[in-house]
Structure 1
Amino acid sequence: MKLIILCCSLILMAVSFFASSTEQTITLKLGKPSTQDIPKNHYILTLLEKSFAKVNVKLNIAYSLEPMNTKRILEELTRNDDVNLAWLTLPNSFAEQRYLIRTSYPIYNGLHSKRLLMVKQSRLGEFSDIKTLEQLKPFIALQKQSWSDYYVLKNNGLTVNGDLSYESMLKALDEGLGDYFPRSVTAIKAEIRKHPQYNFVIEPHIMLQYDNYYYFYANENNKAIIELLEQGLTKLADSGELNALYEHYYRDVEDGLNLNNRRVFNLKN
């Protein structure tokens, strides 16, 4: 009997040692945000942590030493250098040219395709009579040239100043050097709250909309990262946790925005 117990103990120890020795750890190298004033994306970080936990992978997150805008992150991801994962909105053909692969689950359920206008409260009246996209075109939109929205706005004939930093765009909007700042439905309320020194509000009637789906991307040489992340996302979706997580962070985002009754200007992407 003692021999049997001893053998069982040795087997359990061996199994335990084997499991611990083969436990996988992945380090995600993310681009450090170039704009410190934009609120931290807790939804993305939680989504990553929960997805990899579902496939029993320990996750380390490391940020680049230097701040990076979207353009720089894309360059690093293409070179498979200082960044090995990013969440981006890219045309499929463009991603293929850069040898990038992605997950299949849209991160924001399409909500990120809706843009509202951040404006100075004293100028709200100037937007009240705008009924068509043509009437909006002479107004100056503020947007960074390295952001995907910049090219969408320009290609649809809108006037855009893309030469300023995020902080400078806020100052330009306050000083009347720009007329409006299109921001995602998911972020605009938080951004206005974060800058109470400016008297900014959400324009109540207009919404810009275009196909703009975010996915997690990696270089094709890091296929294993995407495969594990896809497996984790699938498990979250099957258990209902993926939708629950989205609801936790964004269930109140539409409150007070009257999205269903706005004048929607559909833009070509």
Structure 2
Amino acid sequence: MRLSALVLVVLQFMASTHVKAESNDVTLTQAFADDNYGLYQRKVLEAVFSATPEYGEAQISLHPHPMSQSRQVVSLLKGDAHIMWSVTNAEREKLLTPIKFPLLKGLAGYRVLVIAKDAQHNFPHALSTDELKTRTLVQGNDWPDLHVLKSNGFNAAGEEWSLWFTSMYTMVEKGIVDGFPRNVNEVKTDLIRHADKPVTIDKNHLLIYPNYEYFFVHPDNSALAKRIRIGLSRLIENGTLETLFNKFESHKFALTLADDPRRARHLLQNHSLPYVLDYARWDLEKEKAIKALLAE
């Protein structure tokens, strides 16, 4: 009886291990924010899984612990999570497998300056790029954008992550820095959350550099990477992804800022990224985007 019981326990353990190995359930990392932050990326991932039923059903769960971007990378490498999304750079692409599709149409590389409400006179339209480099700026300490700014000669300092970037906005409010270059996709939501602070968007300038926000997976998880690529290609082809993108008011606002002809455009190089995508605006370059995804 004891031997039979032992065999039964072993068989049950093996069965549970097999189920776990075959499971399509995935864990997505999350940043220090509420559930609305990254909602678009989660909706895209859900649509990807729905568009690839031949791979089986999949459930997405958020990692229980919010993390900085650098900790999210570690979490994927340790196997504590399966997918993260963030702006890419050469280092992250060496450590993880990037799904080279700019979820935000390349708009992650379009930055407006958040400044104090009484400081617009410090940012006249005629301000040259070299003059703009003399202004003090702040970025997240582990954001690839900090290296972009510094390598282009900007006076930028890194700040530790804080909930909803409160420390960065406080630095602008108190005049510790002149400005906070903020992603055009996220600035509107930020300002709503920091409505109690006397800060606003500079009216005259736009920083532009190659900068793409990708999904990343563990380098050994080629099956998951393939499923995401196939799913994205199908969502582009049938128009679902464009519809999903346009459901977010922040995205519409971002395009308004990015395409504003009145803003002075300051073109920067991204020394952390050895390539430029010709399909970043995948709504305008559908065939190129699909071809690139399926060729990886």
Q: TM-score range by the shorter chain?
A: 0.7 to 0.9
The alpha-carbon deviation at position 195 of structure 1 amounts to: 1.1
**Partners in 2 of 1:263 and 1:38 — Cα distance?**
35
For the pair shown, the structure with the greater C-alpha radius of gyration is 1
Paired residues for 1:72-83 under 5 Å: 72-77=71-76, 79-83=77-81
1:87 aligns with 2:85: yes
* 2:38 aligned partner: 41
Can you list the C-alpha shifts for 1:241-267, whole angstroms capped at 9, x where unaligned?
122222222234334676232111111
1:191 aligns with 2:190: yes
**Partners in 2 of 1:233 and 1:136 — Cα distance?**
38
**Partners in 2 of 1:67 and 1:114 — Cα distance?**
26
Q: TM-score, normalised by structure 1?
A: 0.82
Paired residues for 1:188-227 under 5 Å: 188-227=187-226
Paired residues for 1:160-171 under 5 Å: 160-165=156-161, 166-171=165-170
The alpha-carbon deviation at position 133 of structure 1 amounts to: 1.5
1:55 aligns with 2:56: no
**Partners in 2 of 1:173 and 1:203 — Cα distance?**
12
**Partners in 1 of 2:82 and 2:159 — Cα distance?**
28
Contact 2:125–2:204 (CA<8 Å) still a contact in 1? no
Secondary structure in 2 aligned to 1:259?
coil
Which one is further off, 191-200 or 102-111? 102-111
Contact 1:25–1:60 (CA<8 Å) still a contact in 2? no
The alpha-carbon deviation at position 160 of structure 1 amounts to: 1.5
For 1:193, the aligned partner's letter is I
Secondary structure in 2 aligned to 1:230?
helix
CA RMSD in angstroms comes to: 2.2
The alpha-carbon deviation at position 171 of structure 1 amounts to: 1.2
Name structure 1 gaps, 5 residues minimum: 1-20
* 2:285 aligned partner: none
- Distance verdict in 2 for CA 1:147–1:96, change over 3 Å: closer
The alpha-carbon deviation at position 76 of structure 1 amounts to: 2.3
Secondary structure in 2 aligned to 1:109?
coil
For 2:38, the aligned partner's letter is N
Can you list the C-alpha shifts for 1:122-166, whole angstroms capped at 9, x where unaligned?
111111155212111221111111011111111111111213442
* 2:112 aligned partner: 116
Contact 2:184–2:257 (CA<8 Å) still a contact in 1? no
* 2:26 aligned partner: 28
The alpha-carbon deviation at position 193 of structure 1 amounts to: 1.3
**Partners in 2 of 1:215 and 1:152 — Cα distance?**
17
Q: Percent same amino acid at aligned positions?
A: 25
The alpha-carbon deviation at position 90 of structure 1 amounts to: 2.4
The alpha-carbon deviation at position 81 of structure 1 amounts to: 2.1
**Partners in 1 of 2:134 and 2:256 — Cα distance?**
30
- Distance verdict in 2 for CA 1:122–1:95, change over 3 Å: closer
Can you list the C-alpha shifts for 1:163-185, whole angstroms capped at 9, x where unaligned?
34422111111111111011111
Q: TM-score, normalised by structure 2?
A: 0.75
More strand by percentage:
1
The alignment of Structure 1 onto Structure 2 pairs a total of residues equal to 243
**Partners in 2 of 1:128 and 1:68 — Cα distance?**
37
The alpha-carbon deviation at position 61 of structure 1 amounts to: 2.4
Deviation >6 Å, runs of 4+: none
